[in-house]
Amino acid sequence: MLMPYDFRDNRTNYEKEKEVREKRLSAYSEDIQKRTLEQSCELIRQLVEERQRQGMTQQEVADITGILPSNLARLESGKRVPTLVVLQKYASALGKHIELKLCDGAEE
């Protein structure tokens, strides 16, 4: 015997599952953003430390990279999240390079 299909019940279940899925994805996205920001801040700290070790000013790095001095100051203070291209330019101005690698599994 064929059971009647309850569209309202199905819709309610769908909405509940959708809400749970969206919360899970939001938490995952926030975690990725947090880790990326932490890694970016650490890399910037290393770049600033190296710039200072070499006795270079922000203006000198700006002149070499073409990055506006005001943008460089914001980057160094953590008020701006840089792109990978900007980080590579900065590293190159210091005679350094940035290495990225693809790894298996979740980051620890």
What domain range is 51 assigned to?
A: 7-93
Span 33-38, average pLDDT: 85
Q: Does 1 map to a domain? A: no
How far is the C-alpha of 56 from the C-alpha of 94, rounded, in Å? 9
Task: State pTM to two decimals.
Answer: 0.71
Q: Does 99 map to a domain? A: no
> CATH code at 53?
1.10.260.40
Query: In which residue are the tokens 């350094």 written?
Result: 96
pLDDT tens digits, residue range 18-32?
A: 887 787 777 778 888
Q: Does 105 map to a domain? A: no
pLDDT tens digits, residue range 50-87?
A: 999 999 999 999 999 999 999 999 999 988 888 899 99
Q: Does 106 map to a domain? A: no
Q: Does 2 map to a domain? A: no
pLDDT at 15: 82
Is residue 108 pLDDT above 60, yes or no?
no
When the pLDDT of each residue in the chain is averaged and rounded to a whole number, the result is 87
Choose between 65 and 39: higher pLDDT: 65
Q: End-to-end distance of the chain based on CA atoms, in angstroms?
A: 53
- Residue 44 CB coordination number (10 Å): 20
Q: Does 41 map to a domain? A: yes
Is residue 4 pLDDT above 70, yes or no?
no
Q: Does 52 map to a domain? A: yes
Provide the domain count of the chain: 1
Q: Does 58 map to a domain? A: yes
pLDDT at 2: 60
Cβ proximity of 51 and 61 under 8 Å = yes
